[in-house]
Structure 1
Amino acid sequence: MKYTAAFRIWHWLNAIVVLGLVGTVLLRKGFLSYRTNSEIIMTKLTDMGVDIFKEDAVAIAKAIRAPMWEWHLILGYALAFLVVYRIALLFFDKSQKEPFSTLNIHKKGVKALHYILYGALLFMTISGFALYLKEALELTEAMAKSIKETHELVYNYFLFFIPLHIAGVVVADIREEHGMISSMINGRETTKEV
């Protein structure tokens, strides 16, 4: 298979943006968790002889992670652009058109996972902006909560897809589609093992 420059640009930009978005969430739940950091702030200030209310420590911890959420939003705009770009590629990039019926079972599974990925990207873009614009959209608290829970649930797909995709590409490159990885970089045709 040969990948066009337009598809390769989308692929690598999408990889950077998705990894960035996943990274901001992992930071939020890990190093920048306001619950953990507010406890650290309270403990350290108490050790220094400064008393602080828990609410104030939480406010400080949330302020520390605020720039990370600015990056999440910027990357969200980039993802929205890339979703539109990918939709355009579906119509204009004919190099990716292999009839589904002609594929073997493995290729059908891979293609299905990619379609799920595209659906997940579209959903995450729409739901993310719905949450960001919840006041302008006049979403009820219950609706916003439901969207947020589903947004967080779909996020888990990316935690599985990313390592599965990387491992699958490496295995395919080694076993049957030699040059697949370099083809995604330089655009040359892959060679199939017979």
Structure 2
Amino acid sequence: MEKKRKFTPLHRLLHWIIAVAMIALYGTGFLRMYWMNKHKMVDIMASKTQTLPKEEMTEIAKAIRAPMFEWHVIFAYVMVAAFLLRIIYMIVKGIKFPNPFNAKLQVKKRLQGSVYLLFYVFVFVSIFTGVSLKQGFFPEMKDPIETVHKWGLYWFPIFIFLHFIGIVIAEYTNKKGISSKMIGGD
């Protein structure tokens, strides 16, 4: 019989801080890359007026987007802090996820371990590339680092989808009530 899982208030708090930070980072990143892309904004302004030079329109577009970038950075700091605290918390509490490379484990457990492992790797990569861009580390590699950082727009929805699939499977198999435990505790 599997041991009953109890999520401490700190565990739940870190989970939800990371979730909110990821949603905010995704939202601000998505808007900056697509709907509020500075080039699209300049094209819209250019279609409405011929009196402003393109350089001035670009500066206006950057000024409009600046608060959104500030929020992206704020939530990035929140994410870094929560992620590091979560790693420390897991080490201190001895929390481990299933080893995806252990052939003796059930396929379900190995898949769960794979998703956890990929999540932590991708979050680390997103943090590393984001910090590198913000701090100007590796200037000769700025473009590839930025490209890798932007991949977060694609892995985030995949992770959310897999996370919800895992929750549904858990709720309908051996971990009934795991959702309410993560929301409200025991």
Q: Aligned pair in 2 of structure 1 residues 5, 147: CA closer, same or farther (>3 Å)?
A: same
**What is the aligned partner in structure 2 of residue 132 from structure 1?**
134
CA contact (8 A) 1:170 1:181 kept: no
Is the CA contact (8 Å cut-off) linking 2:98 and 2:110 kept in structure 1?
A: no
Match for residue 38 of structure 1? Answer: 42
| CA spacing shift, 1:14–1:44, aligned 2, 3 Å | same
The residue number in structure 2 matching 1:80 is 80
Is 2:98–2:113's contact at 8 Å kept on the other side of the alignment? no
Amino acid at match of 2:127: T
Aligned residue for 2:151, secondary structure, equals: helix
Q: Which segment is superposed worse, 82-91 or 97-106?
A: 97-106
Q: Which residue of 2 aligns with 1:108?
A: 110
Specify the code of the residue in structure 1 equivalent to 2:184.
N
CA contact (8 A) 2:38 2:61 kept: yes
% identical aligned pairs: 30
Aligned residue-pair number = 179
The CA deviation at 1:76 is 1.0
Q: CA RMSD in A?
A: 2.0
Distance 2:179 2:158 in 1: 20
Greater Rg over alpha carbons, structure: 1
Tell whether the 8 Å contact from 2:98 to 2:112 is kept in structure 1 after alignment: no
Would you say 1:144 and 2:148 are equivalent positions?
Answer: no
TM-score (norm 1): 0.83
Whether the aligned pair in 1 keeps the contact of 2:170 and 2:178 (CA below 8 Å) is yes
- 1:56-96 per-position Cα deviation (integer Å, ceiling 9, x unaligned): 222211211111000111111111101210111221123x3
- Provide the TM-score with structure 2 as the length reference: 0.86
Question: Counterpart of 2:122?
Answer: 120
Match of 1:183 in 2: 181
CA drift at 1:14: 0.3
Which residue is equivalent to 2:159? 161
**Alpha-carbon distance in structure 2 between the residues aligned to 1:89 and 1:123:** 20
Match of 2:172 among 150, 171, 174: 174
More moved, 70-79 vs 117-126: 117-126
1:93 aligns with 93
The separation in 2 between residues aligned to 1:186 and 1:159, in whole angstroms, is 25
CA distance in 1, matches of 2:165, 2:32: 26
Tell me the equivalent position of 1:21: 25
Deviation at 1:175, TM superposition (A): 4.2
Separation in 2, partners of 1:10, 1:158: 18
Deviation at 1:155, TM superposition (A): 4.3
Superposition deviation, residue 167 in structure 1: 3.2
User: Any gaps of 5 or more consecutive residues in structure 2?
Assistant: none
